[in-house]
Structure 1
Amino acid sequence: MSLENADNVVLNAPPIKDFPDDYFAQHDEDVRVLVNHFPLMGISTPEEASRLVALELGAGVGMHSGLLSSHFGRVLATDIFKYTALRGGTFAAHVAAEHQKHGFPFHAERIDFITSSAMDLILRDNLADIGISINTFEHIPDPGAALNELLRCVKPGGYLYIQFDPIWTADTGSHFLNYVPEPWGHLVYSQAEFVAKMRAAGAEEYEVASFTDGINKRRYAYFQQILSDGESKKRFIVVSKTLPEHWWGVVDPSHTSHPFMRKALDLGYTEQELMTRGMRWVLRVS
């Protein structure tokens, strides 16, 4: 894909709405956790971070991007959706206003919003010092290809920070527990049944499309395999081995006694994957 035709990539992005306070707070917490991992990535001072170029894979509605702009000298915020065309071209101003509303600066001059597929970035090799992807790898159709693109675009000796939650097999892996409240319902019901329940509960069509086409449905073993393959081929070094690389649990303790957990086990899912919520990788590019 070239820069010339990248501007023509306009998909049916969800509408940009006014977000609840907890939505911004969660993004703030995500970035705080990233910053807490700076020592693992050789970043010891804010001044060091301010000299780095960060490549954000899956920038979404720009909430992480704005927060990242307070730490890095430049943020290349990539996403397949052309969000910058929304709100009559005032997308960046809207995101800036959300940051200001919560008392955070938004350094627009440090952010480049770039329309591009995570699996085929329009960026040159060795462009960034650090690659960041937060809650995106469960959506990308081919996460292995996206990982390869991050490895291509980040300089040797640079770092990748990849975190995502929930993965498909978690109790909330559908991302739409608000419409279909049964934990693991997306594994037990057929897709047609699940979609029917979403619509009956009032889901909008862009939300239905997000469920059917916007979640890659990859299982825990797949992610473990691409991590193992990359390390065995010496494409990177996993530097987070002393930390939890995945975490367990459910959003509601009652879920473990819900009959759908038993049904999911009977369908061949393992307890490990049903109880794994998310994963975090800190990788040093070889």
Structure 2
Amino acid sequence: MEGRAASAHWTAVFATALACTLPSGHSPARAGPALAQYEIKEIGSTPGAIEIQSQNDFSFGNPTRRFTTNDDGELTADENSVSRQREGLEIEMGLTSFVKLRLGVEFEQERIDDPTTFGTANAFNALRFDSYGAETIWTLLPRKGDGFGIGVLIEYEQSAHADESSQLNVGPIFEWQNGRWSAAFNPILTKHFGGEGNDEGKRDNKIDFGYAARIMYRTSEQFAAAVEAYGTIDRIGSTGSPNNASRMFGDFDQHRIGPVLYWTFEDDDAKGDDEKNDGREIETTLGLGALVGLNENTPAVTMKLSLEVDF
């Protein structure tokens, strides 16, 4: 397949999938900690470049939910953000040499938000369309080879469920490289908007703090080994208006860390014919890792599986 034609083909496929899954109206994320995909954001952009991404995670040993009942027998359960699996599909486009844009959709098998019986308190919904969004990354200080680089991430995420809020994620991106070693750090502030109100009718427009960090060693052009960490501080200070469940059980910080292996390979056929691929190589990167939970609010193990195809 020709490089430019392949890019156009995948762009059309993604746009069609996105259009088919978008709901007809806005539907204001859960009151628990905001959980981003387990991915390290990277600066740098090539005008006209296209990247297709699939970001997936699977959690095991999820924490047991806490709950209580009132005098009328009504059940109130904690609102920790817990999922069994998440599947993300994204397309990234290089707009200029310092700006790139990404559009994405996400499917999630999450714990039932408002269980009505003890038996359903730890039950999960079926895998379903959960959210869609857009992000842009601006490179402020380019990194070419060894040295430091700095950028900024701005991301908006719209939930597909009426009782959940929208999210605005903003934060810097720091990169460093020295030979085969590299490191990255992405601290993020997440502002929640909308969603259901509490008993006083106030929406919990809180602010969370999240982070993603990586130290990586590239053993060859094809293989790299990394240690990655991801976490969320649920509710900074007294921001937002917590509901009854949040007041009863408090907020839920989550922290994960673990090894991730990456394998990068190129399409030899495309590489061998510059006329067909407009001088671009098709490069694919597979990532597989296991992230261990560091506190009782976090699943014991989260498996990370990623696929990225660059045109």
- In the superposition, the TM-score normalised over structure 1's length comes to 0.28
Greater helix share, structure number: 1
Greater strand share, structure number: 2
- In the superposition, the TM-score normalised over structure 2's length comes to 0.26
Work out which of the two has the higher radius of gyration on C-alpha atoms and give 1 or 2.
2
